[in-house]
Amino acid sequence: MDQAAIDIAVKDAASDPLPGAVAQLTADRFARTFVSDADGQVRFSDLGPGFYALRVGSTGFNTVLRPEIDVDMRSDVRLQIGMTTDAE
């Protein structure tokens, strides 16, 4: 495997998929932004090894930060992001 990927499932507090969430992945001299699809899925592919920071936000929900996601070439990273509101 020459490149790795980060697969993200964005869900609301009821664990339902959250479409339209904005996910931004950053590292040194690197930034990509995608929007979650109808199933709440986001895939960042063709990533090199290293540490990445993830920020996920959606209107009406608190922003979620994952500051140190370790990506290596042995396997893809799979994350589930639970979005909450101030009321939850």
- Evaluate whether the domain defined by 4-82 bears CATH number 2.60.40.1120: yes
* Whole-number pLDDT of residue 1: 53
> 11 Cβ partners below 8 Å, 6+ apart?
17, 18, 40, 80, 81, 82, 83
- pLDDT tens series, the chain, 88 aa: 578 999 999 999 999 999 999 999 999 989 999 999 999 999 999 999 999 999 999 999 999 999 999 998 878 999 999 999 877 6
Residue ranges per domain, the chain?
4-82
pTM, rounded to two decimals: 0.90
